[in-house]
Structure 1
Amino acid sequence: MASFVKLGKKIIAIGRNYAEHAKELNNAVPKEPFFFLKPTSSYLQNGGIIEIPRGVIAHHEIELGVVIGKGGRDISEAQADSHIAGYTLAIDMTARNMQDDVKKRGLPWTAAKGFDTFTPVGDFIPKETVSNPHDLDIWLKEGDLILTGTPAGVGPVIPGDVITAGLSIPSNTELLASLNFTAEQRNGGYLFQ
């Protein structure tokens, strides 16, 4: 499953899954999380350059990604773990000013979340390395990625910034994964106004 970036057909992201993140953005905490989709064309492998479109105020949201290893539908809680191949460390980049605009108009977030390079990901982490399974009631196929939501701590990203992130188990100082990306202003193309 190390090739999930090439193999996967969709990225499913969980919104407002962490109450602290919802509060820091002045959003209501929902009774249950909701999801949105990101295109796989937004993947960026570790060490790449995040391209920030002109006119966009970009924010980073560090997340744990769950890589699906076996497709399924109507999967029971007891069987959910058998569908998980492993994990990855991911950044859900957001064009925050664009997201604020589309939310006010009741439109989907896809444009604000789906730019090329707006889903930087790390290497595949086999599931045996992390013992934190999740229950999912959603149609998934081999190679798909689920972003589990953002804990507190989002922030702006401007051209020239270097984003580093790490993933570890609290009782262990060993890093499971790390990310390192540079942000640059995208030349040409889209201009958000």
Structure 2
Amino acid sequence: MRNSFLKTGKKIVAIGKNYVDHAKEFNSKVPTEPMFFLKPTTSYLLSPNTISLPKNQLVHHEIELGFVMKNNANKVQSGNVKADDLIEGFCLGFDLTARDLQSFAKKNGYPWTVAKGYNHFCPISSLIDNSSFSPERENLSVSQILDNIDKGHYKLVASVNSTVKQDDNLNLMVFKIPELISYVSNIMTLEAGDMVLTGTPKGVGPIQSGDVITGQLINVIDNSEVCRIDFSVE
């Protein structure tokens, strides 16, 4: 049940430049409204597992919090996002990117589909049990988790071969999750089972064959591990 989105979801909506320092590390302007692209569901790879990289490509890791839709959302107004009705739960994942292909696409005005859409380019966790977000293991509602995100209770950490590369708080997101639901749903319907990846913080970098990459969602209140994903790279 906690993995059903892998088969029922129709799309992965990935938000770009949703952390100021990540935008700056690529000399990009911070968007004034959310920007997003789509990844195919064939890019899912459930942790723990082995990522097979495409040959002769420069691939970067990007750690992200994702959420899965419980019900359809269509033209939801920004002040009327009922998160408990719309969000099934949260995941931890990587948005892998063929950076050289993305750079070529940007330079030539092409879409990012090729750079983002390879098999294994969305390594992901199962849905995280809501109680894992609480140090006391209370069964928090989605709304309570979103409130805790805004309060700075959780951070993302990505490591390559045990060396920390990304480490930032979720409250640094430029556009919060309710804003993302409203914005995307006014362009396309978010359907039950769809995944939304909420963007990556600064520190993205390359991975290569032989590496081991780890993603962690940490509760900074007690430094407990909310979720962990592990992947070897070949």
TM-score, length of structure 1 as denominator length:
0.90
Residue correspondence of structure 1 range 131-142 to structure 2 within 5 A: 131-132=145-146, 134-135=177-178, 136-137=181-182, 138=185, 139-142=189-192
Amino acid at match of 2:82: A
**CA RMSD after TM alignment:** 1.5
Indicate the residue corresponding to 1:187 in structure 2.
Answer: none
TM-aligned CA deviation for residue 59 of structure 1: 0.2
User: Does residue 116 of structure 2 align to residue 116 of structure 1?
Assistant: no
Number of equivalent positions: 184
Distance 2:190 2:26 in 1: 29
In the superposition, the TM-score normalised over structure 2's length comes to 0.75
The structure carrying a bigger helix percent of its residues is 2
CA contact (8 A) 1:52 1:183 kept: yes
1:14-163 map, 5 Å: 14-76=15-77, 77-81=79-83, 82-127=85-130, 128=140, 131-132=145-146, 134-135=177-178, 136-137=181-182, 138=185, 139-163=189-213
Gaps of 5+ in 2: 131-139, 148-176
What percentage of aligned pairs have identical amino acids?
Answer: 45
CA distance in 2, matches of 1:140, 1:56: 31
Alpha-carbon distance between aligned partners in 2 of 1:57 and 1:35, rounded to the nearest angstrom:
22
CA distance in 2, matches of 1:176, 1:6: 24
Cα separation, 2, equivalents of 1:126 and 1:85: 10
Measured after TM superposition, the shift of residue 129 of structure 1 is 6.5
- CA gap of 1:70–1:126, structure 2 versus 1, over 3 A, is farther
Deviation of 1:72 after TM superposition, in Å, equals 2.0
1:142-185 per-residue CA deviation (whole Å, 9 max, x = no partner) reads 1100000011121100111000110022213221110100111x
